Amino acid sequence: MEATMESNSTPSPIKLITPRRFGDDRGWFSETYSEKGWAEKGVRCRFVQDNHSYSRPAGTVRGIHFQAPPHAQDKLVRCVRGRIMDYAVDLRKGSPTYGQHVAAELTADNGHQLFVPVGFGHAFVTLEPDAEVVYKVSDIYAPDCDGGVLWNCPTIGINWPLPEGGPTLSPKDMVLPALADFDSPFTYDGQPLLPL
């Protein structure tokens, strides 16, 4: 397995990991997760649940979501069918990069995975129809800890690659608070958000 390495000596809390694929004329094989291997890349948490989402139309936006303590979740996200643009938004109070985000294109072909730790909101948009996303989380789903920030918050300023008809959203995602109206349950841990 190989990881995209950050150019700064300070480790970034967000990790873009590309597992190695072993191919021949039949196709390929890849180890998509190894606790020991991923820990060597900076992913040091224990995952307890796998989630799988299917989005029929291109332009489906899911997010910006998180779970608050005591059931806050680290996430390890990958696209297993189609293509998505995946986002991590810094929601840690006191962070010098509060409200800023990084993004990576995750596709079934490139095999990239994005690690989104506690303290960051997570979102993605599907870039083609019938996209499937799987992600590991480090804590159980807890509806009372479920939260989010408005997907098109102008302070965050994500430039979503949307189709001409605009996004497909859930009713929940349409009414989440903007960053200015949001009281974050997360605090800065000293690790700045760095470019991927």
- Degrees to nearest 5, angle at CA 112 with 89 and 47: 70
What does the block give as tokens for 49?
């649940």
Which of 52, 71, 135, 188 is the catalytic position?
Answer: 135
Question: How many Cα neighbours within 13 Å face the side chain of 70?
Answer: 0
Active site residue 65: yes
- Residue keyed to tokens 């010098």: 96
Q: Which of 65, 101, 112, 122 is catalytic?
A: 65
Annotated catalytic residue 33: no
Q: Name residues whose C-beta falls within 8 Å of residue 78's C-beta, 6 or more positions apart in sequence.
A: 32, 106, 111, 112, 113, 114, 133, 134, 135
Active site residues: 65, 135
